[in-house]
Amino acid sequence: MPNRQLVARELAEVFKLLSHPDRVRIIEELASSELDVNGLAELLELPGTRVSQHLAKLKAHRVVEERRDGRHHFYHLKQPDLARWIVDGLTFVEGRLLGVSEGQIATVRELWAGSS
Amino acid sequence: MPNRQLVARELAEVFKLLSHPDRVRIIEELASSELDVNGLAELLELPGTRVSQHLAKLKAHRVVEERRDGRHHFYHLKQPDLARWIVDGLTFVEGRLLGVSEGQIATVRELWAGSS
DNA sequence: TACACATCTTCGAATATTCGAAGATATTAA
DNA sequence: TTAATATCTTCGAATATTCGAAGATGTGTA
């Protein structure tokens, strides 16, 4: 009865998908508003090509969905709760951030939890 | 103010650590009881060397802690809530498991949530 | 001491990921 | 149609991960 193995494998897939800082930031930005590739690239100060590559991966795994309007490709989270769950994970990160105080982490938590 | 970037980087590190099925299973087993390398290896039907390598990585990132008793090295979760948080992540996996019904996922959720 | 047990560490090959560069596609405007 | 904009895809090199094998370390037992 290898259900637990199958479930662990899928969970690990999701974790792998979230295991890049750019993708974490993309998901957190999309938590509060739908954005196109350029919009994300400017917000995150990353090259558009890179954002596009990350979005392709997120889309392939059905984490984000695409809506096209003219030449713009807008992206949003398929399951907005995902962003909240990630923010919950901050609990397990607090002890690891030496240069960042708990207060600053709380600020990030609020930024990502509410409206940015 | 790159706090969000720092936080995203650390979150991504944690996700990378969880991005292997063996490590997910190890963490879920350690949620209910402290175990030594051989105990884990038998439970998960994996070679002891492999379990040891995963545990070394989890220990380096302070996800697990070690207690030595004679020639046995017992491991436990430093933050037991981590296992519960991972189980919460099952929400984002349910649609991806084609061969596993929702009822079976619920069973895994209970197995991992309570006593195994 | 000698031996078995439990675990760790190192090595190297196979595989996967990342990232910029360059070119391809699709849409709108001139 | 031509050109500009927005995005995607492919390529290849650099880097990282995985995993078994082999040997090293530490602990208990005869």
pLDDT tens for A22-73 read 999 999 999 999 999 999 999 999 999 999 999 999 999 999 999 999 999 9
Q: Å from A30 to nearest chain B CA?
A: 14
Does B33 reach chain A within 8 Å, measured CB to CB? no
Does B56 reach chain A within 8 Å, measured CB to CB? no
| Spatial separation of the C-alpha atoms in residues B115 and A48, rounded to whole Å | 48
- Residue A114's pLDDT band, with cuts at 50, 70 and 90, is low
Give the predicted TM-score (pTM) of the model: 0.93
pLDDT score recorded for residue B115? 45
pLDDT score recorded for residue B100? 77
CA at A9, C1' at C15: how many angstroms apart? Answer: 17
B35: CB within 7 A of chain C nucleic strand: no
Place of tokens 């051989």: B38
Residues of B in contact with A12 (CB under 8 A): 18-21, 23-24
Query: Of residues B87 and B99, which shows the higher confidence score?
Result: B87
Query: Of residues B60 and B1, which shows the higher confidence score?
Result: B60
Does B62 reach chain A within 8 Å, measured CB to CB? yes
B68: CB within 7 A of chain C nucleic strand: no
Neighbour count for residue B98 (Cβ, 10 Å): 8
pLDDT score recorded for residue A101? 82
Residues 6+ apart with CB under 8 A from A31: A77, A80, A83, A84, A112
Q: Average pLDDT, whole number, for chain B?
A: 93
Query: Closest residue of B to A95, CA-based?
Result: B62
Rounded mean pLDDT, B32-39: 97
| C-beta separation of B66 from B52 below 8 A | no
